[in-house]
Structure 1
Amino acid sequence: MISPNENPLAGRRAVVIGGSTGIGRGIADAWAAAGAEVIVGSRTRPMGPGSELLSWQRIDLTETRAARERLAALSASPLDAVCFSSIYYGERRALFCDVGEREWREQLDVNVTGLWLTLAATLPALRAADPGLFVGVSSEVVFNAGPGRSGYTASKAAAKALLDSVAREEDAERVRIVQVLPAGMVDSPGIRRRRPADFDYSGYMQPSDFAGVARQLAVTAGAGYHGDSLVVNGDGDWWSAYDRLPVSQSRPVSA
């Protein structure tokens, strides 16, 4: 169990790449609320309630040189926890033959190369925390390939494989790598851009549903979860995807 202390992360420093909205924002808010110094690296500045607790650095992972420099600067000081939540989904669900090369390349640039750049920059600083924590935000698509999401699925599967491989390389006494993913669809600006104006989101998860697992992982530096993929549901509970697979969110797509 985590400490009942209201600020169990006081004195710790964390970075969330892609933390201005969505699941990354839920994790950033949870860490900041627990007392950590949290820096969000993203294209857009975090807004709304809780944003006053977050620092912000503009990082666009498609601008590789600038992103590498800013990640290096963030990693020049000690880091206790890093979360990678940046994602490029694409314009909409579409069949493979209806998706252009530009979309495919941006999925790779953000979802895979962006993760690679973040790991390369932050792992040395996390090792110094002894142990540090790296959290990757994954997706059910890595377990459930389906129609209309081929590029997204391929890039997210590559990201999972990258983190799985690095977890096998790293000494869990120095760095712990954990992946988290939602059990269902999450209400976020990216989702809302792809839905009709009158869409009902009442059955969707919220980014704040990740607060419990984020806090637990940061307080314990991921103890007991190194190399795992944790499925989080709308009640804030979680389980290992290797014990119970997440339900597929795929649906048929017309040509």
Structure 2
Amino acid sequence: MTLPQQSPAARRALVVGGSTGIGRGVAAAWARAGLDVLVLSRNKPAGEGADLLRWFPLDLTDAEAARATLADAAAGPLHAVCYSAVSYGTRRAPFGEVEEAEWRRQVDVNLHGLWLTLAATLPVLRGEPAGLFLGISSEVVYNAGPGRSGYAATKAAGSALLDSVAQEEGPDGVRVVQALPAGMVDTPGIRRRRPTDFDYDSYMRPEHFGALAHALVTTDAAGHHGDSLVVDEGGQWRSVRDTRPVSQSRGVPA
């Protein structure tokens, strides 16, 4: 299989994990801003706006195939990259009840997939002008919490990886920014873990990330380089340096 042909005139963007959830919100915002957006994910984007996105399948648990796909996706100029792929795990559970296979999947998706994406795209993003790398983080990076040890560990490691890369790039290199939701987000992955009658009225939606995503590719992202930005339900954002995100932890069912 070969990647779908890109538009020759548009600035190019890549979203890893952009078929649903926050990644889809970012991809849609970038497409509306005029970027030629390629989504790499297990499933093809569907619904409103899917026709604006190019797509190619990617399974981050197959590292060799993922490395090849990412190399193809990074061929040629890139203006912006978002890494939003995530493995939450099947449910919140104490450490002793989590199978090793689930832990390995979280490492593959939440951490090693990020490493592979950085390795493939950073050299291209260092063009003139320097591009943007947007990583989707989580409040669990700052709060940990019971019943999600694998998710917390891999997301915290991924955040530290991006913090280190941001310091290496410096003010004249790739703009590295992290973003995370102020609360829970209504996504298919979350819905698989909730009862069928669950009320999502208080949950954020992926489109709440659209304003930030648009701003980062239409204005100078250098002002946010190295920062982690908490996005709220109004689409506004603030730095974690000013206010730490609220924990979404809760007790683990007995």
- Shorter-chain TM range is over 0.9
Structure 2: how far apart are the matches of 1:151 and 1:239? 27
- Mapped pair 1:94 → 2:93: yes
Structure 1 counterpart of 2:118: 119
Kindly state the Cα deviation for residue 57 of structure 1 after the two structures are TM-superposed. 1.1
Structure 2: how far apart are the matches of 1:221 and 1:44? 32
Deviations 1:201-233 (A, max 9, x none): 010000000000000111125120000000000
Letter in 1 for 2:99: G
After superposition, residues 103-252 of structure 1 pair within 5 angstroms as 103-252=102-251
Letter in 1 for 2:26: I
Change (3 A) 1:221 1:43: farther
Structure 1: how far apart are the matches of 2:243 and 2:198? 30
Structure 1: how far apart are the matches of 2:175 and 2:43? 28
Structure 1 counterpart of 2:252: 253
- SS of 1:128's equivalent in the other structure is coil
Kindly state the Cα deviation for residue 129 of structure 1 after the two structures are TM-superposed. 4.0
Give the % identical residues: 63
Deviations 1:178-221 (A, max 9, x none): 00000000000000001111111010000000000000111125
Kindly state the Cα deviation for residue 96 of structure 1 after the two structures are TM-superposed. 0.7
Structure 2 counterpart of 1:23: 22
Unaligned regions of 5+ residues in structure 1, if any?
A: 1-9
C-alpha contact 1:130 1:173 (8 A) present in aligned 2: no
Number of residue pairs the alignment of both structures matches: 246
Unaligned regions of 5+ residues in structure 2, if any?
A: 1-8
Structure 1 counterpart of 2:6: none
Letter in 2 for 1:135: L
Structure 2: how far apart are the matches of 1:33 and 1:86? 21
- SS of 1:179's equivalent in the other structure is strand
Q: What's the Cα RMSD here?
A: 1.0
Deviations 1:62-88 (A, max 9, x none): 111111001001111100000000000
